[in-house]
Amino acid sequence: MTTTVKPFGSIERAVLALFERDYAPLDGHPGRVGGDLPGALTDLYVRIDRVSGRADRFEGDFVLDIECFHPSYEEAENASFALEALLLGYPHVVEVNGRRVVLDEVQQNQGPSETFWDDDSVHRLLATYVITARR
């Protein structure tokens, strides 16, 4: 007997949807969150990268790096800790491509900390999270 398993949506898009919905500084500015860093940085930019993960028929555990970039260290730090509080306030339910994604649990492997970036005019704070999501 074969069991049909629903495909996972992109965990990066689920977190992106959560940030755009619930983090006011990103409201109405979807171009400020994503996977690719824009050229010249003049405002907050949040990058979401999937590092690794595993899944079974019912759920998956995904390791994500969340990076906040800003010309001001204080603004990058404020955003990093605000997004940390948002993520750790699980569970969350978001829509991705017409499908519900349930973020059941969030654990932080590394808290926000400044990480080297090639451009000295930009500050980057990086945090790493393990997110358990349901199909």
Quick one: pLDDT at residue 57?
Answer: 79
Environment class of 78 (CB within 10 Å of its CB; exposed 0-12, middle 13-18, buried 19+): middle
**Domains of the chain (ranges plus CATH)?**
11-27+41-134 (3.30.2000.30)
CA-CA distances (angstroms) from residue 19 to 15, 25, 41, 57? Answer: 6, 9, 19, 27
Quick one: pLDDT at residue 93?
Answer: 95
Query: pTM to 2 decimals?
Result: 0.87
Quick one: pLDDT at residue 63?
Answer: 96
Quick one: pLDDT at residue 9?
Answer: 63
Name the residue with tokens 């390791």.
Answer: 63
Quick one: pLDDT at residue 41?
Answer: 81
Quick one: pLDDT at residue 30?
Answer: 63
C-beta neighbour count of 102 within 10 angstroms: 15
β-sheet bridge partners, residue 110 = 128
Quick one: pLDDT at residue 37?
Answer: 73
Task: Pick out the chain residues at pLDDT < 70.
Answer: 1, 3, 5-9, 28-31, 34-35
Q: How far is CA 41 from the centre of its chain?
A: 19
Environment class of 40 (CB within 10 Å of its CB; exposed 0-12, middle 13-18, buried 19+): exposed
Q: How far is CA 5 from the centre of its chain?
A: 25
